[in-house]
Structure 1
């Protein structure tokens, strides 16, 4: 296993948000991983999307890598990061299943709630102002809404009714809550990569969702252990949370 001492990590992403450091759960996931691994990094907001059309992406010593999961695996190999080394193969398989639930299913439920079922203008409350003339903002929002709707339809979940989607999304969060139980972290007493993802998704649900969202209610009221996990991760790895928010003033 190679361990690199000299490195430069540039995280390319959208600008900071006013209610959370990012409106994307994958940015929160990646930055939390970097903080957990004690890897120094810098941010670039000028080129938020990679050639794959994904955000975040990184430049590592001149090499471009996209997708938060691929980035984590790349950096783990480069720096000998072994957060999950103590887990059995069976438990690692469960962790992978939890990741699939959140990234390949719940995320799309949330996107439908945020971008399709509600007034898409609400999205602007959770991102820095778009770097375009105000005249073009409605057009961009309509385009984004249409694109998100089509993505969710192609994934499959967008073909269901709103009530069916919300039921599925809540059941996803309930499954994560049940597995977490009274443990400190998802896999026990030690945080792993899965905690970074769960944190990213609960940040999205609690900090970048309107109060009438079923997913806000799920984290804020229905599944209190998810809120405790959210607060624990925030306190442990984001002591500078307020300093990382976009200041509208």
Structure 2
């Protein structure tokens, strides 16, 4: 699948449709029917949609086979312009809609928020990806591309195994034993749980960019066994901003 081509600022993006509205966000994500038991196979797509919902920014989610010009998903189209990368998208929309990504926080709290965000995105997602795409593809096939035959799913996952494995090795986390990789993820979860304590949200009483932590498998087991405050936090987020998504207690065994 090829990425979208760069276009002139004066020309609409090739995927921009005549019926699209101005000042409306069109969030392009990996097709949602590729996931079972989750809203999307990409945690970054879920994070970005959560942020749009929290900030009440008008948007529509578009299932798309295309990647951005940076070969990434998700990306948005806004007034004919492509904006890739979830964090750059948030920065762009904050300026357009006059939103604060860390509302009500001082410099130290903002720095702490950024550190947690980067820990989640740059470190904690890797144990999930390694488990899914490298070590347990046969198990993950039950949750991946549920609309296609299982044999085809396994072939698709086979192509991802080498790619994800090489990326994990280049990152550094893929050089460790499987148990050590999962311990890294569980230690990150514990750090979030310790910092969250009994607060409503990670950084006090207002949701910010540190809003959603996608967890599955060994890390999910650790979450339910050791960190009930994060379960309560995630359910508060879902109840307030994404009520059609089942609460965690309802999907614990999925």
User: TM-score w.r.t. structure 2 length?
Assistant: 0.82
Q: Whole-Å Cα distance in 2 between the matches of residues 179 and 41 of structure 1?
A: 32
Matches within 5 A, 1:86-101: 86-101=104-119
More helix by share: 1
Confirm or deny: 8 A CA contact 1:15 1:22 kept in the other structure.
Answer: yes
Deviations 1:126-171 (A, max 9, x none): 344467x766443321110111111100100000111211111111
Gaps of 5+ in 2: 1-20, 247-254
Instruction: Give yes or no for the alignment of 1:78 onto 2:96.
Output: yes
Which of 216, 221, 230 aligns to 2:225? It is 221
Aligned in 2, Cα 1:122/1:224: closer, same or farther, shift over 3 Å?
Answer: same
Which of 18, 25, 40 aligns to 1:9? It is 25
Instruction: Give yes or no for the alignment of 1:185 onto 2:189.
Output: no
Q: Whole-Å Cα distance in 2 between the matches of residues 96 and 224 of structure 1?
A: 24
What is residue 38 of structure 1 aligned with on the other side? 56
User: TM-score w.r.t. structure 1 length?
Assistant: 0.83
Structure number with the bigger relative contact order (C-alpha 8 A, sep ≥ 6) is 1
Matches within 5 A, 1:1-249: 6-16=22-32, 17-118=35-136, 120-129=137-146, 136-195=152-211, 199=212, 201=213, 204-205=214-215, 209=216, 213-241=217-245
**1:43 Cα deviation (Å)?**
2.0
Gaps of 5+ in 1: 243-249
Deviations 1:21-57 (A, max 9, x none): 1121111100000001111211221334212121111
Aligned length: 224
Confirm or deny: 8 A CA contact 2:102 2:208 kept in the other structure.
Answer: yes
Q: Whole-Å Cα distance in 2 between the matches of residues 130 and 65 of structure 1?
A: 30
